[in-house]
Amino acid sequence: MNNKNPTATVLYLIEQAIKEYRKISQRNISKIVKDITIDQCLVLIILNKDDKISQNELANLVFKDNASITRMIELMVKKDYLNRTIHKEDRRKFNLEITEKGKKTLELINPIAKINRETALNGLSLEEINLLEKTLNKIITNCKI
């Protein structure tokens, strides 16, 4: 793992970075909202921007499997963060609506999400971040081919 050749280790670093970020994010969220996961938060944030998306589209946006989304939504409905009703035009789909509890939670979550990002990116120049973005996009493209 501690080779000098970064090609052998940089992919582990990506994994480590996202795991550390998820950890502090979950810790900070849990201080304020007890019964929610960061993945569920992300679902709330996305639905808040566009509540007309399907579960399929939602899955793509958060890089998850359809199966995972189905189960997450199930839990979020059970915990009263979301309502789910059948889509009238396409009866295979569902409407996902954020409940009052969900909206209140969003107000608590949004500032924390901002702080989490700022914490993680603290001390990085905009140039560094742009480069990071560019490089990650290349890796993503490489893997998708």
Partner DNA sequence: TGTTTTATATTGATATATCAATTATATTTG
Partner DNA sequence: CAAATATAATTGATATATCAATATAAAACA
Q: Which does 54 bind (CB under 5 to 8 A by kind): DNA, a copy of itself, none?
A: DNA
Q: Taking CB under 7 A as the rule, which mask of x and - marks residues 93-112 in contact with DNA?
A: xx------------------
Establish if 19 lies at the interface with DNA (CB under 7 A).
Answer: yes
Among 9, 28, 48, 55, binds DNA (CB under 7 A): 55
Compute the Cα dihedral for 28, 32, 34, 39 and give only its sign: negative
Q: Taking CB under 8 A as the rule, which mask of x and - marks residues 120-139 in contact with a copy of itself?
A: xxxxx-x-xxxxxx-xxxxx
Establish if 67 lies at the interface with a copy of itself (CB under 8 A).
Answer: no
Tokens of 133: 């973005």
Which residue has tokens 């608590």? 108
Establish if 7 lies at the interface with a copy of itself (CB under 8 A).
Answer: yes
Q: Which does 105 bind (CB under 5 to 8 A by kind): DNA, a copy of itself, none?
A: none
Residue 120, beta-bridge partner list? none
What is the per-residue DSSP string for 16-48? HHHHHHHHHHHHHHHHH-TT--HHHHHHHHHHH
Cβ distance 93 to 54 under 8 Å? yes
Least Å distance, CB 37 to DNA, is 4
Phi/psi at 86 (nearest 5 deg)? -70, 140
Applying CB under 7 A, the residues found at the interface with DNA are 19, 22-23, 26-27, 37, 39-40, 54-57, 64-75, 87, 89-94
